[in-house]
Structure 1
Amino acid sequence: MIVVGVGSGTSVDGIDVAALDLDLDGEVVRALLLGAGTVPFDPDLRADVLAAFPPGRLGMQDVCRLDTRLGQAFADAVATLGAELAGGTPDLVSSHGQTLFHDVVDGQVRGTLQLGQPAWIAERTGAPVVADLRVADVAAGGQGAPLASTWDALWLGGRGHTCAALNLGGIANVTVVPGAGAPTTAVRAFDTGPANALVDAVVARESGGRLTYDQDGAGAAAGRVDDELLALLLADDYYAQAPPKTTGKERFHLGHVDAALTTLAREVPHVDLLATLTALTVRTVADALAPFAPGEVVVSGGGARNGTLLRGLTGALPDARVSTSEAHGIPVDAKEACLFALLGFLTWHGLPGTVAGVTGARHARLAGRITPGHGALRLPEPAPTAPTRLEVVA
């Protein structure tokens, strides 16, 4: 069946869309990527989303309007780019929406909020929509993240060495997949800390909003790491927590950087600040992966286009081959949209959208809720067995 996955990450770079032709053959899911792309946000909508992140405050009227505007934006993206990639109306749309808040209290996720009302997508396209992909895992005691572990465990499992999938969005998350013969219960997945979130926030403030990220890490490359500031940033207790764990912009935002600078009590040149924040990502990712000694690290997300960040990771992980997801058939900007398509496909076939135990949930649960399209909702008979492998078809 043809499934369009759609979503936006915490960097709010744009609406990522991917169309996949997915087929379940016994224990193997075969995925043919029909195409992928990104639809830019309307600048006013993007600004309002960024302003809504903590420590921003919204009234219920604002939440309602943002939910509607995001739903309409996702609907437009699916009806235009998604339909073009799929060759017409897809069989199913799977929408992650836009995360606005991930409520973590004492290491436990109490709730999570993704906006982008799916009824707008169903109305615009006529296709059924699977949405709200994280809440069932949270209700079962899980962190609700990283959902990427579902794709990664099927995609990178069964190799002769331990693989780690690293996604560098606003927040960095990893999935560690042991080599052949290891049970799925040995898979580990968690957020390591900030990836692009802090750098993006500093760049946006320094440029007065003209720039939104450090292109190719050029700013960081021009600076020097401030070791004293780096030590202050590394003192955050999130890094010492054991997985499973998750975090977001409710913790790692511009105020986090400013608090460290206030403690430092001296000026730090802009390029040195970028170099230090980039080094923070490199260090925290490398430290998080060190206990697992991966032989290969597959990088995706916007940070995969940051040459300074990739060079830093390659140097910090000397025993691992660092590559991008493109070397495995998936564009770096499309992997999460592909994941969302897979999660919708699994739900449609009555299969769990998480790997048992990886997120801390008591049980693996079906992901999301289904909004009917224009026609009657007819689901297939539930698949008898869960897949154990994902093949990306050339």
Structure 2
Amino acid sequence: MSKTLAIGIMSGTSGDGVDAILIELDSVRERHEPRVLDHAFVAFPAELRAELTNPTALTLPRLSELHAELPRRYAEAVRAIDGWSHCKVVGMHGQTVWHSPPSAQASLGHRVPNTLQIGSTAILAEALGRPVVGDLRAADMFHGGEGAPIVPFAHWFFTPAEEAGRLVVNVGGIANITHVTARLGEVRGYDIGPGMMIADYCTRRLSGGDYEYDKDGVLSCGGKVDPGVVESIMAHPFFAKAPPRSTGREDFGIDYASRLLERFAELSARDLLTSVMAVTARCIARAALAELEGVGSVLLTGGGAKNPTLVRLVKEFIPLPVSRADAGVFAASHHEPAAIALIAARTQAGLPSSLPSVTGASKPCLLGHIAYPTPG
């Protein structure tokens, strides 16, 4: 059986930079945990991060410019990977600047569900001389799905069959969960609410810009949970929606976080940050203990999994084994780009990578289009 080398590229809602990973797949059809051959991270300048975390303030000319600029930065990350030129395909998620799924129609008032991830696949294909798969969410949304979360198929694919019952929790800017079941068609997954998006904004504001995020929990360590903060966030209409559902900065971005900060200005930074993270922990607990059946363990990944305060709160709220992956495809910086690499390899092979049981789409979809480099 021939092996496939695939690269995945991910720049998430935190806007801090781009992760790129090279994985070796034994098969694009049979579930297994692929080998991570190398990983690279390229940080974005502070000015660019400020733009990407407040995309509705971008002008149309700047948005168009970023569509051409970002793939050049992505190419820099790929070239930092040892052995990148041996890859068969590159998957590029792009930078989400707007996400308006079916579940948001009432609140956002769109005429048709839509999502926009910028970053030209054609430019990246030319820069690397490799086929690039991008625009990964649109097909699922066309068929009635949320287009998100996009990683549950990979969570199932990467998890050994004997570990069915695992709840994989991806704590990025937004937090989403995947309940890995024995049968693919029974996998459940959805966005559960804000991950580190609100906490990151509050950290920047409260530290006067000295900290971009609560690194190692230094600002939240020893904080107490304020019930008022938790109740205020949990009153958001998003939490009343039944799955399938997805969310983003349209619900919990800068505008929302700044209002929250003003409302609870009397709280210490430690208590406010701890309270915001308690919302994420509470949502994880609700999914594991009330909304899903048969959850046997919890695996934390994504940037939030590195925060000791959040991990402590999750363990306090959930009477189940809770762990964090520090290596392999489920490591915090690996699992999203690894999922994108898998999607790219399957799309190149003509195989779907979406799950109707997760997104609500009418059928499994082939995700993305392929941009080929000019020969020669």
Query: Per the alignment, in what secondary structure is the counterpart of residue 7 of structure 2?
Result: strand
How does the TM-score come out when normalised to structure 2?
A: 0.91
Query: Per the alignment, in what secondary structure is the counterpart of residue 190 of structure 1?
Result: strand
Displacement after TM superposition at 1:287 (Å): 1.3
Give ranges in structure 2 of 5+ residues lacking alignment.
Answer: 106-111
In structure 2, relative to structure 1, the CA distance for the partners of 1:29 and 1:213 (3 Å cut) is same
Query: Conserved in 1, the CA contact under 8 Å of 2:186 and 2:357?
Result: no
Displacement after TM superposition at 1:97 (Å): 0.9
> Is 1:34–2:37 an aligned residue pair?
yes
Query: Conserved in 2, the CA contact under 8 Å of 1:24 and 1:30?
Result: no
Displacement after TM superposition at 1:30 (Å): 6.0
Displacement after TM superposition at 1:222 (Å): 3.1
Query: Per the alignment, in what secondary structure is the counterpart of residue 177 of structure 2?
Result: strand
Q: Which residue of 2 aligns with 1:132?
A: 135
CA–CA distance in 2 between the matches of 1:118 and 1:69? 12
Q: Which residue of 2 aligns with 1:268?
A: 267
CA–CA distance in 2 between the matches of 1:75 and 1:268? 43
Q: Which runs of 4+ in 1 moved over 6 A?
A: none
User: Given residue 138 of structure 1, which amino acid in structure 2 is its aligned partner?
Assistant: M
Equivalent residue runs for 1:304-383 within 5 Å:
304-318=305-319, 320-326=320-326, 330-375=330-375
CA–CA distance in 1 between the matches of 2:356 and 2:54? 35
Equivalent residue runs for 1:1-394 within 5 Å:
1-24=4-27, 27-28=30-31, 31-52=34-55, 56-78=56-78, 80-82=79-81, 84-86=82-84, 88-104=85-101, 106-107=103-104, 110-156=113-159, 158-159=161-162, 161-178=164-181, 180=182, 183-260=183-260, 267-291=266-290, 292=292, 293-318=294-319, 320-326=320-326, 330-375=330-375
Query: Conserved in 1, the CA contact under 8 Å of 2:31 and 2:159?
Result: no
Displacement after TM superposition at 1:280 (Å): 1.3
Give ranges in structure 1 of 5+ residues lacking alignment.
Answer: 377-394
Query: Conserved in 2, the CA contact under 8 Å of 1:89 and 1:127?
Result: no
CA–CA distance in 2 between the matches of 1:30 and 1:203? 35
CA–CA distance in 1 between the matches of 2:32 and 2:161? 15
Query: Conserved in 2, the CA contact under 8 Å of 1:45 and 1:69?
Result: no
Query: Conserved in 1, the CA contact under 8 Å of 2:51 and 2:58?
Result: no
Displacement after TM superposition at 1:4 (Å): 0.9
CA–CA distance in 1 between the matches of 2:211 and 2:140? 36
CA–CA distance in 2 between the matches of 1:85 and 1:328? 18
CA–CA distance in 2 between the matches of 1:40 and 1:257? 24
In structure 2, relative to structure 1, the CA distance for the partners of 1:260 and 1:217 (3 Å cut) is same
In structure 2, relative to structure 1, the CA distance for the partners of 1:38 and 1:146 (3 Å cut) is same
User: Given residue 297 of structure 2, which amino acid in structure 1 is its aligned partner?
Assistant: E
How does the TM-score come out when normalised to structure 1?
A: 0.87
Displacement after TM superposition at 1:51 (Å): 2.9
Query: Conserved in 1, the CA contact under 8 Å of 2:101 and 2:147?
Result: no
Query: Per the alignment, in what secondary structure is the counterpart of residue 251 of structure 1?
Result: helix
CA–CA distance in 1 between the matches of 2:286 and 2:263? 24
Query: Conserved in 2, the CA contact under 8 Å of 1:17 and 1:36?
Result: yes
User: Given residue 345 of structure 1, which amino acid in structure 2 is its aligned partner?
Assistant: A
CA–CA distance in 2 between the matches of 1:211 and 1:114? 27
Query: Per the alignment, in what secondary structure is the counterpart of residue 36 of structure 1?
Result: strand
CA–CA distance in 2 between the matches of 1:162 and 1:227? 31
Displacement after TM superposition at 1:234 (Å): 1.3
Question: 267-276 vs 1-10, which deviates more?
Answer: 267-276
Displacement after TM superposition at 1:302 (Å): 0.6
In structure 2, relative to structure 1, the CA distance for the partners of 1:239 and 1:349 (3 Å cut) is same
Q: How many residues align?
A: 365
Query: Per the alignment, in what secondary structure is the counterpart of residue 232 of structure 1?
Result: helix
Query: Per the alignment, in what secondary structure is the counterpart of residue 2 of structure 1?
Result: strand
Query: Conserved in 2, the CA contact under 8 Å of 1:71 and 1:115?
Result: no
Query: Conserved in 1, the CA contact under 8 Å of 2:36 and 2:328?
Result: no
CA–CA distance in 2 between the matches of 1:147 and 1:217? 28
Percentage identity across aligned positions?
34
Tell me the C-alpha RMSD between the 2 structures: 2.1
